[in-house]
Amino acid sequence: MTTEELKSLYLDFFGQKGHAVIPGASLIPENDPTVLFTTAGMHPLVPFLMGETHPAGKRLVNCQKCIRTGDIGEVGDATHLTFFEMLGNWSLGDYFKREAIGWSFEFLTDRRWLGFDSGQLHVTVFAGDDLAPPDEESAALWEELGIPGERIYYLDRSENWWGPAGATGPCGPDTEMFVDTGAPACGEGCRPGCGCGKYFEVWNDVFLSFNRLPDGTYAPLDRVCVDTGMGVERTVAMMNGYRSIYQVPVLDTLAGFVRKLCGAGDRPGPDALRSIRVVADHIRTSVQILGDDLGVPPSNLDQGYVLRRLIRVAIRHARKLGIDDPFTEAMARLAIETEKSSYPELQRNRERILTEIAREEEQFGKTLRAGLREYEKLLPGLLRNPARIIPGRIAFRLHDTYGFPVEFTVGLAAEHGLRVDMDGYQAAFDKHRELSRKGAERKFSGGLADHSAIVTRLHTATHLLHQALRMVLGEHVEQRGSNITHERLRFDFSHPEKLTEEQVREVEAIVNRVIDADLPVACEEMTAEEAGRRGAIGLFGDRYGDRVKVYTVGEFSCEICGGPHVTRTGELGRFRIVSEKSSSSGIRRIRAVLEAT
């Protein structure tokens, strides 16, 4: 069975049960700041699950593209992917447990549909706790359908309670369906939910009966709803008797591409197999993020940062496999070909996908070598330390200066039998963010800021410089500090090495060209999330929903900033860089002036 066949069977089945087929939503949630990506089919439906009327009615069905990165460390095993498709059916205050469970059973076991042997089915239900009672009703319904008690497992909240997708929203107990692959149990406690691969989860029926409030308590919903989700890749794997989801055609095609590039043959060893699968998964997901109509480019923020990590981790695994030449663009081309019939947006956004993925690979290649050299310098010292641990501040420096996603450092470390102090890394990360925020507050603290004409001009010149540096050196360049006096601007930014004379002149020339073009400078207020979506650079607030000012200079630059700025770049005069030197490790400092013309 192919994924297309499964999808059409599911939509037909629920169509026959009175459900309207609705289109899937974007991977980038609209109007929902609580999550970065659409993680389940229910996610775009939250307002309707909460009581709004859906124009298509009370019974809905669809196929939704989803991204989950919570289990990214498991990618490469038999069942985990970061991008996957989910079939789902919903009752918006219409049917409840009896119909939902009955139809799940019928679709899974009836020969006209999937025809699984009901003897292979194991189900789990919510065991109950202080906040909600055990879901005996669901267990009784399964028994009525012929699933004996020993194949019904009562599990706790961590396993059998779903949602909300963000911190607040609809949630409730669920019942999950697993197919026993027939593999031997891994031990005494082996049961559905065990990661050994014996039980494959295929479907989840959630009974949305509570709303989680911001204070962490649960309020019963007046109108209960059903939300179900069937993983397409997992179910197709089960239907075809595959031992892993990486045998599903689209993934098999991408993994085949990697196998061929690295010459691994059909039977790679376990480490190589895992790397091949990670590359296949991460490039597929990256193509989907870039190819979504609301897609974002790689950046150091939110979805863009997840994308950057996926591409960089894929490159690291490719290097481990001995693939040293650029490969992402060719692989993205294959991914687009393979999935464009299901997702025509990939074809629409083809140019963006190919350009951005190749650019990220090239940029990362530049800092990668410098970062690896730095890491190798540190290695003997790290290996001498009996704790065999990489301190958090070092992992943070590799991230901050060389653009190593922390997973990347974790992977490198593991190859040398080292661990990364993740708490220390997080602490260094938070401290840095706090310092940036305080710096920004100081800099833009209303009355204290200097709004004189020259300072205003230098503020705008700083934006032009920031953008020009990113164009000349790459997008790893980020502001690390800025200070403006009546005489000059000073700008600190992340970059691992001294700029060449040529680069300095090129940056200067770009800024002066923008000045000559007399571009308009505009300011708009928006949420930090919206600013991120527009690709704004600069310091973001800590929370979504914070309103920020975004200054754009024509099409040239888009940056979050408190201002003040000139209204046209023609007001600036001549821009000249007077010095470029190191400020601290991995941070360069430029001083520049504006001269009268």
Site residues (vs ligand SER, CB under 6 A):
40-42, 88, 162, 204, 206, 227-229
The answer to whether the CB of 257 falls within 8 A of the CB of 334 is: yes
Exposure string over 389-414, b if 16+ CB within 10 A, otherwise e:
ebbbbbbbbbbbbbbbbbbbbbbbbe
Closer to ligand SER by CB, 41 or 532: give it: 41
Output the six-digit token pair for 218.
């649960």
Instruction: Residue 27: name the closest of 83, 72, 81, 80 by CA.
Output: 83
* Shortest distance, position 290 Cβ to ligand SER, whole Å: 24
* Shortest distance, position 40 Cβ to ligand SER, whole Å: 3
The answer to whether the CB of 206 falls within 8 A of the CB of 197 is: no
* Alpha helices by DSSP H, 201-294: 232-239, 249-262, 270-291
**Prior bond of 164 cis (ω within 30°):** yes
* Shortest distance, position 233 Cβ to ligand SER, whole Å: 14
Give the H or E element holding residue 422.
Answer: helix 422-443
Closer to ligand SER by CB, 25 or 40: give it: 40
The answer to whether the CB of 29 falls within 8 A of the CB of 38 is: yes
CA distances from 303 to 260, 294, 315, 355, 461 (A): 30, 11, 18, 18, 28
Closer to ligand SER by CB, 89 or 494: give it: 89
- The total number of residues written for the chain in this structure: 597
Strand order in the sheet with 574-584: 479-484, 489-494, 587-595, 574-584
* Shortest distance, position 227 Cβ to ligand SER, whole Å: 5
* Shortest distance, position 225 Cβ to ligand SER, whole Å: 11
* Shortest distance, position 130 Cβ to ligand SER, whole Å: 23
- Compute the distance between CA of residue 450 and CA of residue 300 in angstroms, rounded to an integer: 29
* Shortest distance, position 236 Cβ to ligand SER, whole Å: 17
Give the dihedral sign, CA 562/568/571/575: positive
Output the six-digit token pair for 414.
């593991």
Instruction: Residue 335: name the closest of 254, 248, 437 by CA.
Output: 254
3-class DSSP string for 508-544:
HHHHHHHHHCCCEEEEEEEEHHHHHHCCCEECCCCCC
Residues ≥6 apart with Cβ < 8 Å to 506: 468, 472
* Shortest distance, position 63 Cβ to ligand SER, whole Å: 12
The answer to whether the CB of 403 falls within 8 A of the CB of 364 is: yes
- Compute the distance between CA of residue 276 and CA of residue 323 in angstroms, rounded to an integer: 11
- Compute the distance between CA of residue 10 and CA of residue 13 in angstroms, rounded to an integer: 5
Instruction: Residue 168: name the closest of 133, 129, 215, 227 by CA.
Output: 215
Closer to ligand SER by CB, 227 or 492: give it: 227
CA distances from 391 to 374, 413, 414, 418, 423 (A): 15, 11, 14, 10, 9
Closer to ligand SER by CB, 100 or 572: give it: 100
Closer to ligand SER by CB, 165 or 331: give it: 165
Closer to ligand SER by CB, 212 or 350: give it: 212
Closer to ligand SER by CB, 19 or 549: give it: 19
Closer to ligand SER by CB, 164 or 392: give it: 164
Output the six-digit token pair for 597.
């013309």
* Shortest distance, position 97 Cβ to ligand SER, whole Å: 14
CA 67, chain centre distance (Å): 7
* Shortest distance, position 228 Cβ to ligand SER, whole Å: 5
Closer to ligand SER by CB, 64 or 109: give it: 64
* Shortest distance, position 45 Cβ to ligand SER, whole Å: 10
* Shortest distance, position 87 Cβ to ligand SER, whole Å: 9
The answer to whether the CB of 219 falls within 8 A of the CB of 211 is: yes
Give the H or E element holding residue 370.
Answer: helix 350-384
Tell me which amino acid residue 2 is: T
Closer to ligand SER by CB, 88 or 411: give it: 88
Question: By beta-carbon distance, which residue lies closest to ligand SER?
Answer: 229
* Shortest distance, position 43 Cβ to ligand SER, whole Å: 8
